[in-house]
Amino acid sequence: MDKPTPQNVSRSSVIISMLAIATLAFLLFRNGEKWLRGVLIYLSQAGWARATVSNWGVAWRVASRFVSGTDREAAIATTRGLNDKGLLVTLDYLGESCTTPEEALQARAEIVALLDDIEKHKLQANVSLKPTQLGLKLDPQLAYENIRVVVQRAKSVGNFIRIDMEDHPTTDATLNIFRQLRYTDGLDNIGVVIQSYLYRSEDDIEQLIGDGARVRLCKGAYAEPPEVAYPQKADVDANYLNLSRMLLSDKAHTNGVYPAFATHDPAMIEDIKRYVGSNNIPLNSFEFQMLFGIRRDLQIALAQEG
């Protein structure tokens, strides 16, 4: 999709965008990673920010490094290029916290169409989805029914769905949907996400190992209160490595757990690689995951290492 040139954008949009960028830079310098997460989450949900990025050429050139495109055709083309470099791909239809059942249904239709495109073009890709995008905050039953349709469609075309984890009030509902799909509906082509900054995550990982689940481990991206999450990065990192050991344990492997370690941190990656090497863990029993456009050099290097 062609993007308008900068002269087609109002002066006010340019000023707002420049102020947003300046504010983001200041907050990062002044308050570090926690503030940055909060600002990025706000911008991801703000309609004015989305419109500005989509319509201002300079902003779009920056954003397009991290977003594969504005339609499925662009996503498919990007995925094909990444597959050619030896990378597997998880695709997301961006959005969360829908406000009406109709929005949830529209998101469901887009994700089903994306699954059909992946099958049609024989791509090495699966799909992640956010429960709130499919109605979780409106009605957990609505979200469950929408996600079930998506997972059933994925199973029919031999694909896999990852259920993303969002802020902590949705954790139990998200895990309940995961288990209902797996045990009540018998759908085993699903995985879930656990965040290492939550105190509860060790218990959740222990249960998911018992389930033989496919788990993506990430640090967590929401501004959570200290009552439920580690406030210090060092503690989040330490718990990440502790949980990674659990997911790579003999018990987890025996139960069929397939972990995905979502991190751009070279120190974390090297630590996991050393642990894997010293414990003779097969390279095809786990994977690393990174966001599109971040540390592309490291992504390619890891793929070449197997």
Percent of the chain whose predicted confidence (pLDDT) is above 90: 71
What pLDDT, on the 0 to 100 scale, is given for residue 2? Answer: 39
| 124 SS3 class | coil
Residue pLDDT, tens place only, 136-189: 999 999 999 999 999 999 999 999 999 999 999 999 999 999 999 999 999 999
Give the residue-averaged pLDDT of 25-40.
51
Assess contact for 202 and 246: CB atoms under 8 A.
yes
Geometric angle at alpha carbon 79, from 158 and 122, rounded to 5°: 35
Active site residues: 164, 216
**What end-to-end distance do the CA atoms of the chain give, in Å?**
35
CATH 3.20.20.220 in the chain, residues?
72-305
* 72-305 classified as CATH 2.60.120.260: no
Burial class (CB in 10 A: 0-12, 13-18, 19+), 165: buried
CA distance linking residue 196 with residue 244, whole number of Å: 10
What pLDDT, on the 0 to 100 scale, is given for residue 293? Answer: 83
Residue pLDDT, tens place only, 192-248: 999 999 999 999 999 999 999 999 999 998 889 999 999 999 999 999 999 999 999
Cα Rg of the chain (Å, integer): 20
Residue pLDDT, tens place only, 254-286: 999 999 999 999 999 999 999 999 999 999 999
State the greatest distance between any 2 C-alpha atoms of the chain, in Å, as a whole number.
60
